[in-house]
Amino acid sequence: MSSAPTFSGNDPNQHKRVSTQSKPGFLERLGETAGGTVLGVGLFFLSIYILFTNEGRALQTTYSLNEGLSQVVSLGPYISLDLQNNNRLVHLSAQLHTSQPLHDPNYRVMVQAVKLKREVEMYQWVEYRDSKDYEEDGETKTETTYTYNTEWKSELINSRNFDKEIGHQNPSAMAVESVTVVAPDVIVGPFHLSKGLVEQINNFQTLSLRHIAALNFDPFLTIDDDYFYHTQNPRRPEVGDVRVRFSFAGVSGEMPHIGPVQTVSIVAMQRGEQLMPFRTKSGDTLEILYLEELSAEEVFTREHQYNSVKTWGLRAAGWALMFLSIQLTMRIIYTLVDWVPVLRELVSVGLKIFALCVSCSLSLLTIGVGWLFYRPLVAATLAALALLPVFLARSGLPAKKNQ
């Protein structure tokens, strides 16, 4: 395969490259298809696994939530530390509290919250590729257009991987790193939250810098549109310039410029002054936090809704994976006839319809087997109801003959 660059007019930030390769032979295309067939078989079994185990996961979660709702103890509006609730599942709604504010001394930012995130972006070159294939002189050619733009990016882009690095070089490292600071101790009422509960506090919102703009900063640091810019010209940045934005989650103290203290609703196990994960007899762990005031019943209703959405999402993902796997597996048939244009199009459409029908049928069958395995009583009841009209029809036949 050969390639050569061509340039679009006088634009140094765009050029084209045309690569030429000989048309692959029948055996070569057959070999590539065989590799896709092996991948398709693997994806097929993966889809079966996802569809089957998803039914068991959904049922286990449902049982665990029902078990939790039957055992949960609501602590009420006046929350106190009652040791009689040790190792029991409790529910409470109260405001977050942290002992000290989080701060970033480099930018003089301070906020009373559970989390403080520093997000760093650098002005860098970005390469975009747009390719199209065409046939010419019995050869397959690919024309790729490379376009280079400058943009703010949070990840470091390695310009050494560009097709044309000259004139589009990026720095090799960020001058400032992104970081998230988490309060060491988060308290709700008289209880200290576990790490798992703190991880669920992710309602990040951008920190306004209007109250900081009047402070005296480094002369090379500029504030504009809630960003700290490491340049004196934020409206005309250059490659390598850095800007920093702060966001926070879980307000835990009275600060007029960031809003009211966050109220949370929690369902977890009480152990002394700690709220910990609760292990149900069904096998799941209950450690739930919502960023609003909810009753125990509302919390479990939300969890049931989430479980239902997740179940249907995994069913759809399993079906899509099975559809793709069947297409890859049957691709070899298309390769055998792709030298005949009319037949090739008919076979292509036929294979898609076949993959759609088979994937739908097998997905439903797998889900049905999952129900039979995980919910045998429900499956048996449904089967009996399905066969009931047949038995009623058969029982009515002798009477009609006698008449």
CA 263 – CA 273 distance, rounded (Å): 19
| pLDDT band at residue 216 using 50, 70 and 90 as cut-offs | very low
CA 235 to chain centre: 34
Percentage of residues in the chain having pLDDT higher than 70 = 81
Residues 112 and 168 in one domain: yes
pLDDT score of 337 more than 70: no
| pLDDT band at residue 403 using 50, 70 and 90 as cut-offs | very low
Task: Kindly state the tokens that stand for 183.
Answer: 């309060």
**Would 14 be classed as within a structural domain?**
no
Q: Is 103 left (phi over 0), alpha (psi -120 to 50) or beta?
A: beta
Task: Kindly state the tokens that stand for 373.
Answer: 């395995």
Q: Which tens digits make up the pLDDT trace of 244-267? A: 999 999 999 888 778 899 999 999
pLDDT score of 29 more than 70: no
359-362: long-range pairs with CB below 8 Å, 24+:
359/319, 359/322, 359/323, 359/326, 360/319, 362/48, 362/322
**Listed ranges 2-16, 42-56, 126-140; the one with the highest mean pLDDT:** 42-56
| Main-chain dihedrals φ then ψ at residue 32, nearest 5 degrees | -65, -40
Q: 158-170: b or e for each residue (b if 16 or more CB lie within 10 Å)? A: ebeebebeeebeb
| pLDDT band at residue 69 using 50, 70 and 90 as cut-offs | very high
- Longest Cα pair distance anywhere in the chain, in angstroms? 106
Q: Are 283 and 64 in contact (CB under 8 A)?
A: yes
* Structure-model confidence comparison of residues 143 and 98, the more confident one: 98
Which residues contact residue 342 at a Cβ distance below 8 angstroms, ignoring those fewer than 6 apart? none
Q: Which tens digits make up the pLDDT trace of 182-209? A: 999 999 999 999 999 999 999 999 998 8
Q: Which element (helix H / strand E) includes 311?
A: helix 296-337
* Structure-model confidence comparison of residues 223 and 336, the more confident one: 223
pLDDT score of 310 more than 80: yes
For the chain, what is the domain count? 2
* CB atoms near residue 181 (< 10 Å): 16
Residues 190 and 250 in one domain: yes
Residues 302 and 202 in one domain: no
Q: Which tens digits make up the pLDDT trace of 100-115? A: 999 998 888 999 999 9
pLDDT score of 321 more than 50: yes
Residues 59 and 105 in one domain: no
CA 285 – CA 308 distance, rounded (Å): 17
Which residues contact residue 355 at a Cβ distance below 8 angstroms, ignoring those fewer than 6 apart? 323, 326, 327, 330
By C-alpha distance, which of 299, 304, 272 is closest to 288?
299
| pLDDT band at residue 138 using 50, 70 and 90 as cut-offs | low
CA 115 to chain centre: 21
Residues 179 and 86 in one domain: yes
pLDDT score of 85 more than 50: yes
pLDDT score of 224 more than 50: yes
Residues 245 and 178 in one domain: yes
**Would 17 be classed as within a structural domain?**
no
pLDDT score of 398 more than 60: no
**Would 335 be classed as within a structural domain?**
yes
Percentage of residues in the chain having pLDDT higher than 90 = 51
Which residues contact residue 213 at a Cβ distance below 8 angstroms, ignoring those fewer than 6 apart? 223
In a 13 Å sphere around the CA of 65, the CA atoms on its Cβ side amount to: 20
**Would 53 be classed as within a structural domain?**
yes
Q: Which residue has the tokens 């199009």?
A: 345
pLDDT score of 16 more than 60: yes
By C-alpha distance, which of 23, 24, 82 is closest to 273?
82
Mark which of 241, 272, 303 sits at the end of a domain.
Answer: 272
Pairing of strands 113-136, 242-251: antiparallel
**Would 11 be classed as within a structural domain?**
no
**Would 220 be classed as within a structural domain?**
yes
As a whole number, mean pLDDT of residues 25-51 equals 77
**Would 215 be classed as within a structural domain?**
yes
Q: Are 65 and 288 in contact (CB under 8 A)?
A: no
* CB atoms near residue 64 (< 10 Å): 21
Residues 267 and 381 in one domain: no
pLDDT score of 382 more than 70: no
CA 283 – CA 300 distance, rounded (Å): 17
Residues 187 and 114 in one domain: yes
Q: Report the mean per-residue pLDDT for the chain.
A: 85
Query: Across the strands, what pairs with 130?
Result: 145
Q: Are 102 and 120 in contact (CB under 8 A)?
A: no
**Domain ranges, residue 54:** 29-76+295-389
Residues 94 and 135 in one domain: yes
CA 189 – CA 252 distance, rounded (Å): 12
Residues 64 and 87 in one domain: no
Residues 252 and 303 in one domain: no
CA dist list (Å): 26 to 58, 197, 250, 338, 339: 47, 58, 62, 10, 9
Global pTM reads: 0.80
Helical ranges in 109-216 per DSSP H: 195-199
End-to-end C-alpha distance for the chain, whole angstroms = 85
**Would 400 be classed as within a structural domain?**
no
Residues 243 and 260 in one domain: yes
